[in-house]
Structure formats: structure tokens, C-alpha cells
Amino acid sequence: MTVRRTLLTLALCGTLLSSSAAAEASHTPAREQPGRAYSYGPHPRQTVTVYGTRGPALVVLHGGSWARDTDWSGPARWFAARGFTVYEADYRLSSDAVWSAQRADVLAALRWVARREGPGAARPLLLGSSAGGHLAVSVGAYGDGRAHTRGVVALSPVASPYRAWRDGTAPGAPAQRRALARAAKRLAGC
């Protein structure tokens, strides 16, 4: 990992985790500027909302246990106001399609971003939280996805849906783990 990539990753993590960044994001003038949505596939959820038009590309993947969309427009606008071109990528939920449709959607969104950015552009950084963190790691850390990203920032990722299911079905598992086990089961379609 290069020093530049490491510093960018640390800056992104620190920014997202700081409470002052969230407060500042809600007061930035860029907040009034809506993102522009584009389709990268035929399903209504296969969209990318673009914020900003300059700077390095940052692809954001929402969490929500693969079952619901969570709003990342505030942080997307915040990053855009600080010089990133932010692509907030949506993907089919577990109610729309079972695994590995979500991974295929993220790959399709990354290919769309590459076409929009143009030849010779730097590959984007991939940022995901929770289920989005799982998808970011799944896409950006191995296989054909590595060719489409320059790095991954995963905030509280579900590193293994199988382990989430197994831990959540263990006797005495707390309610939060049981809920995640149900979400992993829906994702797998079994």
C-alpha cells in the first residue's frame, strides 16, 4: 500500500468517524446542490448518484443489512465539497435478488464510473459501511474487482455473512446478532 493511499484511507476514516464532520456536512453550502442520478443497469435500484465533478473518484456503498437503503447523501456532499467526485452507488437489495447480485451490481457500477471518468483516470476508492462494507471488501479485495478500485475503506463491515448467520443462530445470541443472521439468510436466499 502506498503512503498516499494509506493517508487517504486514514483521512476518510477519521472524517467519517468524527462527530464534527457530520455536523459540518449538514451546514456546507454543497448540501443544497442535489446529486445527479444515472442508471448503470435495468433495475430501478441500479443507479449512481454523482456529487461534484472534480478530484479523485470516491464510490460510496450504503449499509442496511442488504435489505434497506441508508442515506449517504450528506457525507457524499461533504466529500464533494472537499474536492472528491463522489459516486453514491445503489444496488439491488436482498428482497430484489439473492447473492451475488449485489456484488455484480457494484462491479457494474464501477465499470460505469470508469467509463464516465474516462481512459487514463485513476481508479476510484471504494467506501462502504456495514453491508456496504461487506460489498466493498468483496469487490475491492479480490478477483476481478481489484482491477476497478485503488483501495477499500470498510466501516464496520459484515466480513462474513456465513459467520453472521452462524453467530446469530447460536443459542443465547443477542437480538442484534439474530437480526443480522436473518438478513444474511435473506441475502443467501435460503
pLDDT digits (tens, 9 = 90+) for 61-86: 999 999 998 999 999 999 999 999 99
Q: Mean pLDDT over residues 108-124, rounded?
A: 94
- Cα 144 from Cα 111, distance rounded (Å): 11
Residue type, 183: A
- Cα 189 from Cα 176, distance rounded (Å): 20
C-alpha cell at 146: 481489484
Residue 30: what pLDDT? 43
Residue 107: what pLDDT? 96
Which residue from 153, 7, 152, 12 is spatially nearest to 82, judged by alpha carbons?
12
Given a contact cutoff of 8 angstroms between Cβ atoms, the answer to whether 127 and 59 are in contact is yes
Task: Return the residue matching grid coordinates 459501511.
Answer: 129
Q: Mean pLDDT over residues 173-187, rounded?
A: 91
Kindly list the distances between the CA atom of residue 46 and the CA atoms of 92, 155, 167, in Å, as whole numbers in the listed order.
7, 22, 31
- Kindly list the structural domains of the chain, giving each domain's residue range(s) and its CATH number in brackets, ordered by start: 3-158 (3.40.50.1820), 160-190 (no CATH)
Residue 143: what pLDDT? 82
Predicted TM-score of the model (pTM): 0.81
Residue 137: what pLDDT? 94
Residue 20: what pLDDT? 38
- Mean pLDDT of all residues belonging to the chain: 85
pLDDT digits (tens, 9 = 90+) for 3-57: 444 445 545 544 444 433 443 444 444 444 679 999 999 999 999 999 998 899 9
Q: Identify the burial level of 87 via C-beta atoms within 10 angstroms of its C-beta, where 0-12 means exposed, 13-18 middle and 19 or more buried.
A: buried
Alpha-helical segments (H) within the chain = 3-17, 19-25, 73-81, 101-117, 131-140, 161-168, 175-188
